[in-house]
Structure 1
Amino acid sequence: MVRPEEIEGMVDALGAVTHKEIVELVQELAYTREEDMPEVEDINDLLEKAVNEHLLEIITSKELKGTDEEDEEEKEGNVEEEDKKDSYYIIGPHAFPDFPFDLSEVIDILKLDRREVDPEKLAARFSKELENSIIKLRDEIGIFASGECGGDDTSIDLPTLEQRYSDLLNLYYDYDSWIEGGFPDMENEILSISKQIDALGAAQDI
């Protein structure tokens, strides 16, 4: 079975790769190596784990070079179905790609071309994702502070907020060092959340 680092190498070599292309790459590589053909479910598990660990990230065609507004307008309609077809894997901030020695042969067999990611569009995408995470955490802090936790909010307590803040801060630093230009204006905004959580802890004599 192909190693996760090799999948990262495949993605890095091609810039941005669809799910279908990764499955074909992995299976063709196994065939070339005369190994057992990996199941799609096993490949899916590898990809899910890679995304969760930020070895790979998922984008859409909007973040690729050469995409114009007219192309995007034509895709409007069944958004949910389009999202499934319009997803691309790129290497993430934790990636350490290993390029299989027979990768170029497999790419030639499958006739795949390299795609280029637009750095400005990529920065805009992940900036928005971080902003959404900040807003969500601030909302959770507000719910906890008001004492109105209920329903799905019963899991919100101080340790949970501290852990979610830690996860957000680590993600920010990962993306800030990974994205060209980073997000320097966002650091103080995120650090200020720590003061809010500290104040909640002090108020409860924790």
Structure 2
Amino acid sequence: MDGDELAGIVDLFGGLTRSELERALDELAFKRGDEPDDPGEGVDAALHEYYLVEVEYEDATLLAPGPVAFPELPEYGPDLPHILDVERRDVDREVLAAAVRERLESEVAEADGDRAEYLLDVTYDAEAWAPLDLDDVREDLAVDS
């Protein structure tokens, strides 16, 4: 499952814990008649590429759609609210923005080459996605790349 589809599942609920998302992926695989994939790999990749963002919300670590995602529901995705016993969560966009800023700032020091270029693109996506000004992060990336 690609990052946009993972973001679509999470977006359907506003935010999901990692175990809730993994359960959703298992349910979708069952509905399709497939063997479930190892969801950890896909979730880790989606986090790494900013399709998903991890935030603390009401004493839980939630995954929410990230700045590069164009959330899209996979096949059988609309059935998930009927299958999972998960209430919708409304994660504040400023909380998400702060998490993205913090992560970008922490990655700048080690970013080089292709990763630095990718993170530059993420900064522009993030500014369109949430109330952020990431000029300082772009400057740091330009210096380090």
Quickly name the TM-score band, shorter chain normalised.
0.7 to 0.9
> Would the aligned equivalents of 1:162 and 1:197 in 2 still touch at CA under 8 Å?
no
Q: Does 1:191 align with 2:128?
A: no
TM-score under structure 2 length normalisation: 0.76
Which amino acid is the alignment partner of residue 30 of structure 2? Y
Q: Distance in 1 between matches of 2:15 and 2:118?
A: 26
Consecutive unaligned residues in structure 1, runs of 5 or more: 62-66, 73-85, 138-159, 199-206
Listed as ranges, the gaps of 5+ residues in structure 2 are none
8 Å CA contact 2:28–2:76 kept in 1: the answer is yes
Instruction: Look up the match of 2:36.
Output: 38
**2:86 equivalent in structure 1:** 112
Q: Secondary structure at the match of 2:54?
A: strand
Which structure has the bigger radius of gyration? 1
Q: Which residue of 1 aligns with 2:51?
A: 55
Residue matched to 1:15: 14
1:7 shift after superposition = 2.5
- Give the 5 Å matches for 1:90-109: 90-100=64-74, 102-109=76-83
After TM superposition, the structure 1 = structure 2 runs for residues 27-176 of structure 1, keeping only pairs within 5 Å, are: 27-33=26-32, 35-39=33-37, 42-61=38-57, 67=58, 86-100=60-74, 102-134=76-108, 136=109, 165-176=116-127
CA contact under 8 A between 1:55 and 1:93: conserved in structure 2?
yes
> CA offsets, 1:37-65, max 9 Å, x none?
314xx21111122222222222222xxxx
How far residue 95 of structure 1 moved from its aligned partner, in angstroms, is: 1.5
Q: Say which structure is richer in helix.
A: 1
Q: Percent identity?
A: 28
Q: Alpha-carbon deviation of 1:178? A: 1.9
8 Å Cα contact 2:120-2:141 kept in structure 1: no
Q: For 1:22 and 1:89, locate their aligned partners in 2 and report how far apart those are by CA, in whole Å.
A: 8
User: Structure 1 residues 31, 175: CA separation in 2 closer, same or farther (over 3 Å shift)?
Assistant: same
Q: For 2:122, what is the secondary structure of its paired residue?
A: helix
Provide the alpha-carbon RMSD of the alignment. 2.9
- Distance in 1 between residues matched to 2:26 and 2:12, nearest whole Å: 17
CA distance in 2, matches of 1:99, 1:164: 28
Deviation of the 1:193 alpha carbon:
6.4
Q: How many residues align?
A: 144
Q: Counterpart in 1 of 2:132? A: 182
Whether the 8 Å CA contact 1:11–1:89 is kept in 2: the answer is: yes
